[in-house]
Amino acid sequence: MDITHLKKGFWGYKKSDVCEYIAKMNEEFSLKMMDTITAHEQAVQEFNEKIARLEQENAAFYAERDRVAEVLTDAKMYAVELKQKANAENAKFLEKNLECAHELQKRIRECSTGIHDVRDSIQQLLDIFGDNLSEKSEVLPEPQHFSPVTRKKD
């Protein structure tokens, strides 16, 4: 009902028409208000659901972040432990190699000393043989030159 449809009487608008108009306007306003409230409540419900879903996702992301941080910490500790083991094994390996090298050097020195001793012994024997040979050569007469004997062929 529009205000132009209100009927006028001698003293103004009819009271019943005005009351009817106000009641109708109140009813339309109430319906619009109920629609607005319903839409608002629906929007609030949707937003609350979305907030709950986002909070769950956020909690999952935080949990994943914590797991990743824990894995990184564990990996770092494992790397440090592995490096320490590798350094310890490397030190043992180097120590063993140094011991082997020292042992080999010791054996080489012993062999070298043995070789020098053998060489000196051989030199002494050669000197003794040389002296004996000189003595024997003084005692032996000079060799005579023989002509080669030729055989006759039969």
Res. 128 pLDDT band, cuts 50 70 90: confident
Model pTM?
0.44
Contacts of 13 (CB under 8 A, 6+ apart): 6, 7
Mean pLDDT, the chain, integer: 86
Using CA atoms, how far apart are residues 144 and 6, in angstroms rounded to an integer? 178
Q: Summarize pLDDT for 54-77 with one digit per residue, the tens.
A: 999 999 999 999 999 999 999 999
Residue 138 in this model has a pLDDT that exceeds 70: no
Give me the mean pLDDT over the 85-98 stretch: 94
Helix (H, G, I), strand (E, B) or coil at 147: coil
DSSP summary character for residue 5: G
